[in-house]
A = this chain, B = another copy of it.
Amino acid sequence: MTLTALTPRRGTPEPPASSPPPGSPAAPALADAYARVRAHTEALAAPLSAEDQVIQSMPDASPTKWHRAHTTWFFEQFVLVPHAPGYRVFDERLAFLYNSYYLAAGPRHARPRRGMITRPSNAEVADYRAHVDAAMARLLADPAALTPALAEVVTIGLNHEQQHQELILTDILHAFAENPIAPAYDPAWRWRPATPADGMVSLPEGIHTIGHRGDGFSYDNEGPAHRVLVGPVGIARGLVTNRDWLAFMADGGYAEAALWLSDGFAAVQAEGWQAPGHWREIDGQWHAVTLGGSQPVEPDAPVCHVSYYEADAFARWAGRHLPSEAEWEVAAATGELADAFGVVWQWTRSAYLPYPGYRAADGALGEYNGKFMVNQMVLRGSSLATSPGHARLTYRNFFPPSARWQFTGVRLAAFSA
């Protein structure tokens, strides 16, 4: 992988399909996907020192080393221990350290204290990864062992690791943005302009089916597919840019209570927000701490690192709304949205709730998504930090309305368009 892969991709109307998704359960393909996904994690961590990889800059973020170990533990815990005869656990203590929220998988190390684990060292975690990778390679090479159920767990593990790949980038960016010297993850990295795209995609009233169908991999929260009534509504073809956002700021947007949800304005005041996340005013000019370090804000780039509260206030200021997740999905399926994928996640006005008839799977893996279905808002699309092959039209990302450390941006909607 080259780091340029992280440069914002000119958004395409459909998820990139160049790299075969890890959802295919055929054995050789799965072994390939395993090797590819695992190598991508290591490539993402490569620019980071052991010091960089150990710290945790806030309770919602995790150390790089933790991401690398936790994703490895997933394969050990859910694949190798139950399915690989004679597998030797690398170190029993790691199960405690690198379990995350799987209550059913036993007690866990406290989440906010993940940054305290200097030992096992970064090198030991690399050994752990190698140990598990070797065992996984042996297992995946055995066609007899690879039952459909096992292939499904491996596929979940790979998608799980891809999610952590995005978090490796967002979490280290948060840590670097807190450092007064603003280190660069990749000094050559630069924002690109958003794809120019005027006007709106008009959706007349109609019944559509949303949610995941078909054979490929999806998370349980993307189903059941179900019919919804959508429209009439217009969905903007292009993303909101920094230029737009600077106009909102210049118009006093952060100070005008009437534009904000009550909880949102409370957050503005409590956190002292005056601009998107990772922005700093230096000598009268706004800079953003990016993967390339501190850089002057690029007006034509899409606004990024805004919370739902900010997205909602901006939409109100603009006389617009945010799209619902169903509206987004139907509009994106038309192929007419620019930058739908690969640039910034797009906040919707939909709360993260179960689709009608949703029920979480039993067992530890059932804890994956369902139990977070309250107090969060849905984001759609994908971001520049989303791993190749991981984006999907039906993908439901979710964060609390105050979260800003992900690559989150804004696409507007209008009911009168």
**Taking beta carbons and an 8 Å cutoff, which residues of A are in contact with B?**
49-55, 57, 93, 96-97, 101, 103-104, 109, 113, 115-122, 175, 178-181, 183, 205, 207, 227-229, 233, 257-258, 260-265, 308-309, 312, 321, 324, 349-351, 353-354, 356-357, 366-367, 371-375, 377, 401, 415
Alpha-carbon separation in the docked complex, A285 to B97 (Å)? 23
Pairwise interchain contact B179-A52, C-beta atoms closer than 8 A? no
17 additional A-B pairs beyond A93-B181, A103-B258, A262-B372, beta carbons within 8 Å, are: A49-B119, A50-B50, A51-B53, A51-B119, A51-B121, A52-B119, A54-B54, A54-B55, A55-B55, A103-B257, A118-B183, A262-B371, A321-B354, A356-B415, A357-B415, A375-B375, A375-B401
Q: What residues on B are CB-neighbors of A371 within 8 Å?
A: 260-262, 265
- One of B113, B228, B356 near A178 (C-beta < 8 A): B113
| A51 with B118: CB separation less than 8 A | yes
Which of B55, B97, B349, B356 interacts with A116 by CB under 8 Å? B55
A415 to B260, CA, bound (A): 36
Residue among A49, A97, A308, A354 with the highest chain B CB neighbour number at 10 A: A49
Question: Which residue of B has the minimal Cβ distance to A351?
Answer: B351
Q: Of residues A118, A179, A183, A349, which shows the largest number of chain B Cβ atoms within 10 Å of its Cβ? A: A118
Known: A55-B55, A207-B229, A371-B261. Is A179-B50 also a contact (CB below 8 A)?
A: no
Question: What is the oligomeric copy number?
Answer: 4
Q: How far is the CB of A91 from chain B (nearest CB, A)?
A: 9
If A229-B227, A415-B356 touch, does A115 touch B55 (CB 8 Å cutoff)?
A: yes
Once A55-B55, A229-B207, A349-B354 are accepted as A-B contacts, the answer to whether A49 and B118 lie under 8 Å apart by CB is yes
Query: Are A373 and B119 in contact, CB atoms less than 8 angstroms apart?
Result: no
Return A348 CB to nearest CB of chain B, in Å.
10
Do the beta carbons of B356 and A118 come within 8 Å of each other? Answer: no
Contact between chains at A180 and B262 (CB < 8 Å): no
Q: Which residue on chain B has the smallest CB distance to residue A57?
A: B116
Distance of A227 Cα from B205 Cα, bound (Å): 9
User: What distance in Å separates the Cβ of A73 from its nearest Cβ neighbour in chain B?
Assistant: 14
13 contacts between A and B (CB under 8 A): A51-B119, A51-B121, A51-B122, A52-B119, A54-B118, A55-B118, A93-B180, A118-B175, A119-B179, A227-B229, A229-B229, A258-B366, A351-B351
A261 touching B119 by the CB < 8 A rule? Answer: no
Instruction: Give Cα distance in the complex from A179 to B55, angstroms.
Output: 14
B119 touches A263 (CB 8 A): no
- Whole-angstrom distance between the Cβ of A411 and the nearest chain B Cβ: 16
Residues of B within 8 A of A53 (CB): 51
CA distance A50 to B118 in the complex (A): 9
Chain B residues within 8 Å of A115, by CB: 55, 115
CB distance from A331 to the nearest CB of B (A): 14
A372 contacts B109, CB within 8 Å? no
